[in-house]
Amino acid sequence: MKRKNMLFQIFRYLMMFIILLNVQITSAKNSTGETTSDEQGKVFRAGAAMSNITPPLGVGLIGGWGTPLASHVHDELHARCLVLDDSDTKLVFIIVDNLGLSREVIDEAKGLITNETEIPASNVLISAIHNHSGPRAEGEYQKFLVRRLADVVRIALNNLEPASIGWGVGSVPEHVFVRRWLMKPGTDLPDPFGGQDKAKMNPGHNNPNLLKPAAEPDTDVSFLSVRSKEGKPIALLGNYSLHYVGGVPSGHISADYFALFADRIQELLKADRQDPPFVGMMSNGTSGDVNNINYGGEPERNPPYAKMKRVADDVAREVFRVHNKIEFHDWVPLKAACEELTLNVRKPDQKMAANAQEVLKRPDDVKTNRPHEKVYAERITKLLEWPDQIDVVLQTFGIGDLGIATTPFETFSDTGLEIKEKSPFKTTFTIELANGYYGYLPTPEQHELGGYETWMGTNRVEKNASVKVVTKLLSMFSSIK
């Protein structure tokens, strides 16, 4: 009898030890982000699709100081969509080949998407790539575009399948340069309003007054990738802080290097002619003060589209290199936060408004040394019609240990680098021109330097807006971490 009791006690202690060991193993897995017992049984899925949004020839193309009429389609414009589903939450990315979409257009599209799919608007991210060779989203084209944005989500949902997901970061420093340069003291840099700047956008090569770039660019190319359980590529979403490349002849419709990257990464991943089709996507990072021209070097001469192809190829090759090393996860949690931030609108004072009226009355043949004086007289006059405050939409996604933020501005590189540095996520990137378009977002320090991006009318919100945006986004990150 005693022997039986002793054996029973040993058996009980052994079972308790096994239970404790299992608890410790589960806790260890949870701390590294691997699947826990609570996550068992859930299926991670992904689906992607594209909708053609090319306008008819004859529409006006925006991005420069004029509005040339479209006379040729070099490459079709698209809305590219990726849907992620962790069995509880769905996240939607829609990257649109357009310069910038107003909040009214995006809200209309999100309303359709929510009505037709029941995915909440807070979980839908719609951003523009900022090509300078496409139409404005207005009139009949706006109606067509909104319908196609809703359609592409439904098609991506139809394509949902069990998937795994991974992400990574590479570096392509050779194609990003801060386009704002500090000029030597005493350089004459008039602004359109009667003042003087300290910094100049696109100051030209071999300019004797060049001092140094006004900031540092973000050289990262970040990406997330999804593939089927069998290893077939489904989609890849990149993020690179390059304004655009250009080199597009007047009248040509093009999605710039963004589309060429999508095509090249598809080729590198050997994902051609799949069913459903692979979808490559490139979003615009924080590139409000960045382009691909090195004013500290020698000028380049490239035929149309040549530089664009070179940039797309280099960025795609770096993504492919890093992609071969990343870890794919069978399941990760998906989270989203979406909030409005109230910002003050910049308005001209009485003196500036009166001067604008005088400029607008002046005959066109009267020339001054003030750059684009009449254009900005019109712009600041229109700002008087704006409300004193606006509410802008900010959004954050959590995908496992990857954090994604959005801004509805052409956001400076300093702001994007600050968000990356202070983010609670291991990997972070920011998609600009998302959920609205309100012009440029310089930092307070860059406002002090002046220059095109800081001029009232190019920038429309308070000079401290970038600080408020970063603070809000970091708070939203903390809420979903």
What's the CA dihedral at 142, 148, 152, 155 to 10 degrees?
160
Residue 27, pLDDT score: 38
Residue 366, pLDDT score: 86
Residue 14, pLDDT score: 52
d(CA 324, CA 328): 11
The answer on pLDDT for 32 being more than 70 is no
d(CA 51, CA 348): 42
Mean pLDDT, range 322-343, rounded to an integer: 98
> How do residues 280-311 score in pLDDT, each as one tens digit?
999 999 999 999 999 999 999 999 999 999 99
Residue 21, pLDDT score: 44
Residue 5, pLDDT score: 52
- Greatest mean pLDDT among 12-21, 31-40, 88-97, 360-369: 88-97
Residue 20, pLDDT score: 42
Residue 480, pLDDT score: 98
Amino acid making up residue 349: D
Residue 134, pLDDT score: 97
Considering the chain, what percentage of its residues have pLDDT values greater than 90? 90
Mean pLDDT, range 234-259, rounded to an integer: 98
The answer on pLDDT for 19 being more than 80 is no
pTM above 0.85, yes or no: yes
Residue 351, pLDDT score: 94
Residue 12, pLDDT score: 54
Mean pLDDT, range 54-68, rounded to an integer: 94
> How do residues 153-190 score in pLDDT, each as one tens digit?
999 999 999 999 999 999 999 999 999 999 999 999 99
Least reliable range by pLDDT among 5-19, 60-74, 191-205, 272-286: 5-19
> How do residues 259-269 score in pLDDT, each as one tens digit?
999 999 999 99
Q: What is the SS3 assignment for 159-179?
A: CCEEEEEEEEEEECHHHCEEC
Residue 265, pLDDT score: 98
Q: Please give the mean pLDDT across all residues of the chain.
A: 93
> How do residues 345-372 score in pLDDT, each as one tens digit?
999 999 999 999 999 999 988 888 999 9
User: For residue 107, what are its two tokens?
Assistant: 């809200």
Asked if 46 and 161 touch (Cβ cutoff 8 Å), the reply is yes
> Nearest to residue 101, comparing CAs of 112, 110, 114?
110
472 or 22, which is more confident: 472
Mean pLDDT, range 99-118, rounded to an integer: 98
Residues 6+ apart with CB under 8 A from 87: 42, 43, 44, 45
The answer on pLDDT for 6 being more than 60 is no
Asked if 219 and 169 touch (Cβ cutoff 8 Å), the reply is no
Q: Please, which pLDDT band fits residue 87 given cuts at 50, 70 and 90?
A: very high
Asked if 228 and 163 touch (Cβ cutoff 8 Å), the reply is yes
Residue 365, pLDDT score: 85
d(CA 261, CA 252): 19
Q: Please, which pLDDT band fits residue 9 given cuts at 50, 70 and 90?
A: low
Q: C-alpha angle 389/393/394, rounded to 5°?
A: 125
The answer on pLDDT for 278 being more than 60 is yes
